């Protein structure tokens, strides 16, 4: 019993550390916004960004008691069209049922000239851990958890986004931070 408690304590702190690392990576990709800007965060979870100095809207599948927000899914965002100057999402594309539907919704809610800032799991750029990611995905899928190794660049491109990425090689779990905007004329 004591060992089980220690293990869960270590897993809890490990989760907090990784959440903080990812949180900081995402924040580093977010540009400065004006006071009248609207920022929509999708999948805010237990640790919403709460970006200050703008109008902030949080959307998640579950209501988190400590933070106000809107309940809804990324595939059908419960907000009107052309509302957000910036859409922020951390590890949402790996968790949704339909990546293309999610990206269409993100494009729908963004104002013209708006940007989508995200942080996502990605395929291992050196192909060293691709087998590990594939095996891990089999077990994660059974538990309804996110999929590692989503080809985010291809998905963004197919959905009609121009993007710039910053790849961050983290052991066994590489992620990319990116800024994306719908292509002009699409």
Task: Give just the sign of the alpha carbon dihedral 117, 165, 149, 6.
Answer: negative
More confident residue, 105 or 151: 105
| Spatial contact of 67 and 58, defined as CB atoms under 8 Å apart | yes
Stretch among 6-15, 20-29, 138-147, 153-162 having the lowest mean pLDDT: 6-15
Domain count, the chain: 1
| Cα–Cα distance measured from residue 127 to residue 10, given in angstroms and rounded to the nearest whole number | 29
pLDDT in tens, 127-176: 566 676 777 767 666 666 677 667 888 899 999 999 988 766 555 567 78
Nearest residue to 122 (alpha-carbon basis) of 20, 16, 25: 25
Q: What is the mean pLDDT of residues 40-63?
A: 79
Cβ atoms < 10 Å from Cβ of 55? 15
More confident residue, 4 or 37: 37
Q: How confident is the model at residue 61 (pLDDT cuts 50, 70, 90)?
A: confident
Q: Could you tell me how many residues make up the chain?
A: 186
Strands 175-182, 110-121: pairing kind: antiparallel
What is the extent of the structural domain holding 82? 2-182
Share of the chain above pLDDT 70, in %: 67
Phi, psi of 141 (to 5 degrees): -65, -35
Where residue 9 sits, what CATH number does that domain have? Answer: 3.40.50.150
């Amino acid at each position: 019993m004591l060992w089980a408690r220690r293990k869960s304590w270590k897993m809890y702190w490990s989760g907090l550390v990784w959440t903080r690392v990812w949180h900081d990576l995402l924040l580093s990709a977010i540009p400065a916004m004006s006071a009248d800007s609207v920022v929509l965060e999708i999948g805010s979870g237990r640790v919403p960004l709460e970006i200050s100095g703008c109008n902030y809207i949080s959307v998640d599948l579950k209501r988190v008691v400590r933070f106000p927000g809107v309940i809804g899914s990324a595939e059908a965002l419960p907000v009107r069209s052309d509302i957000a100057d910036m859409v922020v999402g951390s590890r949402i594309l790996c968790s949704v049922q339909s990546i293309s539907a999610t990206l269409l919704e993100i494009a729908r809610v963004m104002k013209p000239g708006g940007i989508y800032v995200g942080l996502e799991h990605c395929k291992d750029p050196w192909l060293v851990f691709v087998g590990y990611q594939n095996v891990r995905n089999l077990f994660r899928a059974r538990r309804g958890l996110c999929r590692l190794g989503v080809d985010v660049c291809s998905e963004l491109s197919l959905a009609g986004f121009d993007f710039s990425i910053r790849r961050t090689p983290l052991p066994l779990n590489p992620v990319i931070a990116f800024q994306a905007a719908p292509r002009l004329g699409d």
